[in-house]
């Protein structure tokens, strides 16, 4: 037998919860139309307050679309000259006769006249080295000792080359050392060199073959006054920020590694060209060793597959382009 109080609580509980199977109270006779004055009515559910719709976040344009509607930089004859010595070694002569060497491994196996070419070098104003590996430091020290050419590198690469490779310390000062994002105005404004990143490693070796850390690998954008803008990628893989390289200055000539294995191969190099959109691309860093199996023919096929309008210029060691 329930007490009146217990019956009242059960009745109210059933009314609030709506549970099926609650036994009606035989004691408390509350009107069907109104709750007992001594018992609080069940709370009434209210509609949620209207909310302000969240605006859609616009989808960002893909990086590769940067500047895709702009015309490619024209290849004009300014009087500048670009010579390839094989691998990643180039000489750039400005219209006023200033001489720059980039990654000057002149005596690389790709160059059949390397020793003679090195012996003939009697003038150099700057030596640019993208990173510390032996196939890019190359003959830099020999050239510097003959010509007094100043070293253009990131600070860490330059310090390592002085300490462990023997580059003359007085030719590797703050005026020609920088780091990524920095730009140097050199040779009385005849050239501007911008340091850009690369996806690679960097170390230098001494004469005994011991390796020492040498900062990070990079590339260079070399802007010649009244002449071409040349982007030397250095050793690298493809990376999306390549699309930012031409935003300051459109690239006239891109020197792109294509050899695979240690660097990007023809397919990823073609994607790099798609991002940079140069007027001309010159493949490099292929065929020097058997593992560098990427070929200009494969590279050409990848460029065509993407419908790119950039001109492909395949050079032979010792050949010179008029830019």
SS3 assignment for 78-109:
CCCEEEECCCCCEEEECCCCCEEEECCCCCCC
How large is the average pLDDT for residues 210-238?
A: 97
Q: Which of 49-58, 87-96, 143-152, 215-224 has the lowest mean pLDDT?
A: 49-58
Q: Which of 61-70, 195-204, 215-224, 288-297 has the lowest mean pLDDT?
A: 61-70
Model's pTM, two decimal places? 0.80
Is 84 a member of any domain? yes
Q: pLDDT value at position 22?
A: 45
Q: Which of 54-68, 98-112, 155-169, 181-195 has the lowest mean pLDDT?
A: 54-68
How large is the average pLDDT for residues 55-74?
A: 54
Is 59 a member of any domain? no
Is 35 a member of any domain? no
Is 79 a member of any domain? yes
Q: Is the pLDDT of residue 283 over 70?
A: yes
Residue whose entry in the numeric block shows the structure tokens 């382009």? 321
Dihedral-angle region of residue 189 (phi above 0 means left; psi in -120 to 50 means alpha; beta otherwise): left
Rg (CA), the chain: 35
User: What share of the chain has pLDDT > 70, as a percent?
Assistant: 78
Q: pLDDT value at position 116?
A: 98
Q: pLDDT value at position 173?
A: 97
If you average pLDDT over every residue of the chain, what do you get?
Answer: 86
Q: Could you tell me the pLDDT band of residue 197, with boundaries at 50, 70 and 90?
A: very high
How large is the average pLDDT for residues 90-104?
A: 98
Q: Could you tell me the pLDDT band of residue 76, with boundaries at 50, 70 and 90?
A: confident
Nearest in space to 184 (alpha carbons), one of 171, 197, 174: 174
How large is the average pLDDT for residues 94-118?
A: 98
More confident residue, 152 or 61: 152
Is 68 a member of any domain? no
Measure CA of the first residue to CA of the last residue in the chain; give whole Å.
109
Q: Could you tell me the pLDDT band of residue 1, with boundaries at 50, 70 and 90?
A: very low
Q: Which residue range is the domain that position 77 belongs to?
A: 73-322
Q: Is the pLDDT of residue 24 over 80?
A: no
Nearest in space to 294 (alpha carbons), one of 261, 316, 270, 246: 261
Structural domains counted in the chain: 1
Is 15 a member of any domain? no
Is 218 a member of any domain? yes
Which CATH number covers residue 221?
3.60.15.10
Is 208 a member of any domain? yes
| The dihedral sign for the CA sequence 13, 17, 23, 28 | positive
Q: pLDDT value at position 47?
A: 52
Q: pLDDT value at position 53?
A: 58
Q: Could you tell me the pLDDT band of residue 58, with boundaries at 50, 70 and 90?
A: very low
Q: Is the pLDDT of residue 60 over 90?
A: no
């Amino acid at each position: 037998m329930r007490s009146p109080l217990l019956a009242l609580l059960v009745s109210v509980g059933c009314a609030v919860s709506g549970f099926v199977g609650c036994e009606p109270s035989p004691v408390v006779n509350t009107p069907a139309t109104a709750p007992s004055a001594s018992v609080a009515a069940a709370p009434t559910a209210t509609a949620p307050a209207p909310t302000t719709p969240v605006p859609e976040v616009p989808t960002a344009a893909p990086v590769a679309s940067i500047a895709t509607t702009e015309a490619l930089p024209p290849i004009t004859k300014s009087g500048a000259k670009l010579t390839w010595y094989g691998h990643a070694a180039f000489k750039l002569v400005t219209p006023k006769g200033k001489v720059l060497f980039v990654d000057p491994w002149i005596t690389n196996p790709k160059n059949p006249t390397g020793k003679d070419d090195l012996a003939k070098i009697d003038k150099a104003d700057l030596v640019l080295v993208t990173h510390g590996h032996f196939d890019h430091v190359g003959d830099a020290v020999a050239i510097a000792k003959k010509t007094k050419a100043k070293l253009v590198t990131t600070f860490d690469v330059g310090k390592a080359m002085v300490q462990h490779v023997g580059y003359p310390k007085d030719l590797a000062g703050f005026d020609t050392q920088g780091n990524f994002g920095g730009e140097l105005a050199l040779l009385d404004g005849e050239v501007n060199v911008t340091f850009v990143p690369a996806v690679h490693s960097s170390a230098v070796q001494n004469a005994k073959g011991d390796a020492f850390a040498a900062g990070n690998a990079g590339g260079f954008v070399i802007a010649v006054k009244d002449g071409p803008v040349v982007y030397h990628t250095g050793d690298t893989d493809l990376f999306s920020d390549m699309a930012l390289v031409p935003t300051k200055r459109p690239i006239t000539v891109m020197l792109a590694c294509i050899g695979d294995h240690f660097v990007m191969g023809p397919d990823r190099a073609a994607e790099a060209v798609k991002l940079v959109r140069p007027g001309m691309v010159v493949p490099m860093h292929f065929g020097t060793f058997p593992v560098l199996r990427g070929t200009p023919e494969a590279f050409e096929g990848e460029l065509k597959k993407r419908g790119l309008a950039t001109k492909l210029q395949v050079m032979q060691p010792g050949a010179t382009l008029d830019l």
